[in-house]
Amino acid sequence: MSKPLNSTGAEDTARSYPPRPEAVYFYGTCLVDMFVPEAGMDAITLLEREGIRVIFPDNQTCCGQPAFTSGFPDEARQVVESQLDLFPGDYPIVVPSGSCGGMIRWHWEKVCANDPALKARAAAIGARTYEFAEFLLHVVGFNRKDEGEPTTVTLHTSCSARREMGTHLVGRELLARLGNVTLAHHDHESECCGFGGSFSLKHPDISTAMVSDKVASLKATGAREVVTADCGCLLNITKRAAKEDLEARRVKASLPGDHLATFLLRRTGGQTAGSN
């Protein structure tokens, strides 16, 4: 089984995994909340189906990554500080996004570095924060029967999630446990899709070129769809593919995609939120 990575992308030999808990906190992320809520609901369904109670803190907001990566540490600290009281119980915190999970695990304590008390609290929260696929694999031991028809998919792992949370490793292992799913690797897997949060807004031409390369690489595999555990990347990739379809007057989507939670739930006999 793959081992987790640290913030530099090296093997995180210090991380150990707890036994399956009675409950978890679910940190939904702003992108899931605003644009792909079905992915969050499907992730919660997967956890609840495994007998885990899911707690959703109502006052959660953004993880602070946009401010942090744009050079606004004070604003990022305010975002972090406002959420440190959301997880009072000693339960794991599960995040359906590797980039947001990496922000909480590795960087919350950095933005609170000037206040020892806040830093300690942020570090304690980071230590029990898990990216969704990582938690499903290493803590839950997810291994349900694949009830879907044979299919080929390709996997996208966002650049920060790949480096900081090892999402390419856990994603591959979860898909490998689905007996009727073949994973097609693409030659741009380690490259950014061009989303990068505010990067795509500040540099739209560069972002468009990057995502166009990514879409071409994904399509070249011949896979029926793309699967990823990061909704920002999912939106960027599938919407770019949809625009290309529109320009080419294609009626059928040439590159549909799903969040990994939705894909796993659908393949293992669960009812996805989007099908309700």
Query: Per residue of the chain (276 residues), what is the pLDDT tens digit?
Result: 444 555 544 445 568 999 999 999 999 999 999 999 999 999 999 999 999 999 999 999 999 999 998 899 999 999 999 999 999 999 999 999 999 999 999 999 999 999 999 999 999 999 999 999 999 999 999 999 999 999 999 999 878 888 899 999 999 999 999 999 999 999 888 889 988 877 888 898 999 999 999 999 999 999 999 999 999 999 999 999 999 999 999 999 999 999 999 999 999 999 999 886
Residue 14: inside a domain: no
Residue 13: inside a domain: no
Residue 18: inside a domain: no
How far are the Cα atoms of 57, 143, 186, 203, 239 from residue 77, in angstroms, in the given order? 19, 39, 38, 25, 32
Distance from chain centroid for Cα 173: 15
- The C-alpha atoms of residue 107 and residue 266 are separated, in whole angstroms, by 33
Instruction: Give the count of beta carbons closer than 10 Å to the beta carbon of residue 188.
Output: 16
Q: Which residues contact 143 (CB under 8 A, 6 or more apart)?
A: 177
Last residue of a domain, one of 98, 120, 139: 139
- The C-alpha atoms of residue 11 and residue 55 are separated, in whole angstroms, by 30
Is the domain of 257 the same as that of 233? yes
Sheet holding 93-95, edge to edge: 53-55, 23-26, 93-95, 129-131
List, for residues 65-87, the tens digit of each pLDDT value.
999 988 999 999 999 999 999 99
Is the domain of 134 the same as that of 152? no
Q: Which residues contact 115 (CB under 8 A, 6 or more apart)?
A: none
Q: What percent of the chain has pLDDT over 90?
A: 82
How far are the Cα atoms of 33, 83, 95 from residue 107, in angstroms, in the given order? 22, 14, 15
Find out whether 64 and 82 touch, Cβ atoms under 8 Å. Answer: no
- The C-alpha atoms of residue 274 and residue 186 are separated, in whole angstroms, by 28
Range of the domain at 89: 23-139
- The C-alpha atoms of residue 228 and residue 7 are separated, in whole angstroms, by 20
Residue 3: inside a domain: no
Instruction: Give the count of beta carbons closer than 10 Å to the beta carbon of residue 246.
Output: 10
Residue 16: inside a domain: no
Find out whether 78 and 62 touch, Cβ atoms under 8 Å. Answer: no
CATH number of 262's domain: 3.40.50.11810
Find out whether 275 and 235 touch, Cβ atoms under 8 Å. Answer: no
Report, in this order, helix, strand and coil percent for the chain, each rounded to 5. Answer: 50, 10, 40
Residue 187: inside a domain: yes
| Token pair in block for residue 162 | 């790949």
Residue 12: inside a domain: no
Beta bridge partners of 9: none
Residue 10: inside a domain: no
